[in-house]
Amino acid sequence: MNTSIQHARSILDAVLEHRRMSIAILTSGGDSSGMNPAIKCFIERCLQQGETPYLVYDGLEGLIDGSIRKATWDDAAGIISRGGTIIRSSRSTRFYEPSQRQKASAELKKRGIDKLVMLGGDGSYSAMAQFQDETELAVACLPATIDNDVPGSDYSIGVDTALNVIRKAIDDIRDTASSFSRAFIIETMGRSCGYLAMVSALVSGAEICLIPEVSHNFKSIKERIARSIHHGRRYAIAVVSEGVEQGAKRLSHWFEEELHMSSRVTVLGHVQRGGSPSVYDRRIAFEFTTLAVDELLKGNRCFAVCSESGQLKIRALSSLPTEIELDPELIKLVTRLCQ
Q: Is 135 domain-assigned?
A: yes
Q: Note whether residue 334 is domain-resident.
A: no
**Measured distance CA(220)–CA(134) in Å, rounded:** 54
Same-domain pairing of 281 and 148: yes
Q: Is the residue at 20 inside a domain?
A: yes
Give me the pLDDT at residue 312, please.
Answer: 97
Average model confidence (pLDDT) for the chain? 94
User: 188 and 76, same structural domain?
Assistant: no
| pTM of model > 0.85 | yes
Q: How many domains does the chain have?
A: 2
Is residue 335 a part of any domain in this protein?
no
Residue 338 maps to a domain: no
pLDDT of residue 219: 96
Residue 332 inside a domain? The answer is no
| Side-chain-facing half-sphere of 93: CA atoms under 13 Å | 0
Q: Is the pLDDT of residue 13 over 70?
A: no
Q: Give catalytic residue positions.
A: 147
- Using one digit for the tens of pLDDT, what is the confidence trace for 17-36? 444 689 999 999 999 999 99
- The CATH number given to whatever domain includes residue 59 is 3.40.50.450
**pLDDT band at residue 319, thresholds of 50, 70 and 90?**
very high
140 Cβ contact list (under 8 Å, min separation 6): 115, 116, 117, 118, 292, 293, 295, 296, 300, 303, 304, 305
Give the whole-angstrom CA distance, residue 270 versus residue 119: 19
How large is the angle between the packed helices 279-298 and 35-48, nearest 10 degrees?
Answer: 40
Q: Are 188 and 166 in contact (CB under 8 A)?
A: yes
Q: pLDDT value at position 15?
A: 45
Asked if residue 25 is part of any domain, the answer here is: yes
What pLDDT, on the 0 to 100 scale, is given for residue 16? 44
Task: Answer yes or no: is pLDDT of 324 > 80.
Answer: yes
Closest CA to 118 of 243, 289, 233, 269: 289
**Same-domain status, 85 and 61:** yes
Residue 153: give the domain boundaries: 2-158+277-321
Confidence check: pLDDT of 14 > 80: no
Summarize the confidence of residues 327-336 as an average pLDDT: 96
pLDDT at 301: 94
Q: Tell whether 169 and 37 lie within a shared domain.
A: no
For the cut 60, the answer to whether the pLDDT of residue 217 exceeds it is: yes
